[in-house]
Structure 1
Amino acid sequence: MSVNLTKGQKISLDKEAGATLNQVTMGLGWDAVKSKGFLGFGAKGADIDLDASCALFDDAGKPVDVVWFRQLKSRDGSVVHTGDNRTGAGDGDDEQINVSLQQVPATVKSIVFTVNSFTGQSFAQVQNAYCRLLDASSGKEVARFDLSVQGEHNAQIMAKLYRHNGEWKLHAIGENGKGRTFDDLMPQIAQHL
C-alpha cells in the first residue's frame, strides 16, 4: 500500500516497500488547467512544460552530478531520466527518473528531486500534479506526494532520497520556489542538505 506523504514527512523506503529496494522510479505527472471555452465548449489547456530533475550531493552538501532534460544520465549511470515531456498530455507519469540505489556511489549522500515550469507558467495553471516513488522491479507505488498546491510559484523542491544508518529514506520536502531549471533552486536546496 502506498503512503500519501505530507510536506516534511520522512519514511524508510525498505519499511514502506516491505523489502529492500534496489531500483526506484520517481514519477512526475501533471495536467494543464483547462481554460473556459464559449459556453463551456472547446475548453483546453495550454501546453505546460514541467521538468523533473535531480541533483546528487556528497556528505559536505556539494553537488556531484545532476540529471535533467539536457543530461539524461548521471556520469556513473546510476540515475537515468526517461525523457522530456513538454505538454503533460496523456495519463500516468509524464516524466520519470530511475535510480539504481545499489549503483549510486558511496560518496553520494542524497539525491534531491525538483520540478520546474520550463515554460514559466505558475503552478496556478497546473492541476493534478504529483510525484510518486515506485519500486521499479515490481511497479508498486511506495509513496505519493501531491504537488497541486496551486500558487504563483513555478518550481518546487519535491523530495530527497538520502542515506541514513545504511538505508535509503525519503523526505517529502514540498517547498515552493521560483526558476525555470533546477539550477535556479540550488541555493534553496542547500537548506535541506
Structure 2
Amino acid sequence: MSVNLTKGQKISLDKEAGSTLTRVVMGLGWDAVKTKGFLGFGSKGADVDLDASCVLFDESNKPLDVVWFRQLKSRDGSVSHSGDNRTGAGDGDDEQISVNLQDVPPNVKAIVFTVNSFTGQSFAQVENAYCRLMNADGGKEVARFNLSVQGQHNAQLMAKLYRHNGEWKMHAIGENGAGRTFDELLPQITQHL
C-alpha cells in the first residue's frame, strides 16, 4: 500500500516498505496540457520537457555530485538516470532516477530530487505530474507525491532522501521554485538540508 505524501511530510522508508530498502526508484511522469483548436475542433498539446534531477550532499551541505540529463550516473555509480524524455509522451514514468542505497557513499547525508521545466513552461501548462518512490527490488510503490498543483512556477523541489540514525527517510518537500535546471535551485535546496 502506497502512502500519498503531502507537502512537508516525512516518512521512514523501511517502515513504509515493510523491510529494509536497498534500491529505490524515483519516477517522474507528466502530460502536456491540451488546448482546443480552431472553433473548438481538435486539440493540440504543446511539448513540455520536464527534467528529473538529484543532487547528493555531504554533512556540511556541500553538493558532492549530481545526476541529471547531462550526467546520467553519479561518479560512484550508486545513482543513475533513465535518460531525457522531452515530451512526456507515453504512459507511466517518463523519467526515472534509480538509487542503490547500499552503494551510496557514507559521506552522502542527503539526496534531493528536483523537477525543472527545461522548455520554460509553467506547471500551469502541465497535467498529471507526479513523482513516486518505489522499492526497486519488488516494484512496490512506497510513496507518491502529486505535483500537479497548477501554478506559474516552472520548477519544484520534489523530495529529499536522507540518513537519520542509520536509516533512510524521505521528506516530501513539494516547494515551488524557478529555474530551467537544478543549479538554479541550489540556494533554495540548501534551506532544506
Shorter-normalised TM range: over 0.9
For the residue of structure 2 that corresponds to 1:35, the secondary structure is: strand
Matched residue, 1:125: 125
Cα shift at 1:40: 3.8
SS at match of 2:34: coil
Asked if 1:45 is matched to 2:53, the reply is: no
In structure 2, distance between residues paired with 1:45 and 1:179: 22
Residue type of the alignment partner of 1:32: A
Which residue identity lines up with residue 100 of structure 1 in the other structure?
N
What does residue 81 of structure 2 align with? 81
Cα RMSD between the aligned structures? Answer: 0.7
Structure 2: runs of 5 or more not aligned:
none
Cα separation, 2, equivalents of 1:79 and 1:125: 30
1:37 CA displacement: 1.7
**1:58 counterpart residue number:** 58
SS of 1:159's partner is: strand
Q: Normalising by structure 2, what TM-score?
A: 0.99
Q: Distance in 2 between matches of 1:170 and 1:43?
A: 39
The Cα offsets for residues 20-41 of structure 1, whole Å up to 9 and x where unpaired, read as 0000000000001100123543
Task: For residues 46-93 of structure 1, give each alpha carbon's deviation from its aligned partner in whole angstroms, at most 9, with x where no partner exists.
Answer: 000000000000011000000000000000000000100000000000
1:44 Cα deviation from its structure 2 partner: 2.0
Helix, strand or coil for the counterpart of 2:171?
strand
Q: Say how many residue pairs are matched.
A: 193
Aligned partner of 1:83: which letter?
G
Partner of 1:167: 167
What is the rounded CA distance, in whole Å, between the counterparts of 2:36 and 2:14 in structure 1?
45
What is the correspondence of 1:85-124 to structure 2 with a 5 Å cutoff? 85-124=85-124
For 1:55, the aligned partner's letter is V
2-side partners of 1:86 and 1:65: how far apart? 23
Letter aligned with residue 78 of structure 1? S
CA distance in 2, matches of 1:82, 1:181: 17
Q: Distance in 2 between matches of 1:167 and 1:44?
A: 46
Deviations 1:82-109 (A, max 9, x none): 1000000000000000000000000000
Please list every run of at least 4 consecutive aligned residues from structure 1 whose deviation after the TM superposition is greater than 6 angstroms. none
Superposed, which structure 2 residues align to 1:124-143 within 5 Å? 124-143=124-143
Instruction: Tell me the percent identity.
Output: 83
- What is the identity, as a one-letter code, of the residue corresponding to 1:53? S
Question: Which structure 1 segments of 5+ residues have no match?
Answer: none
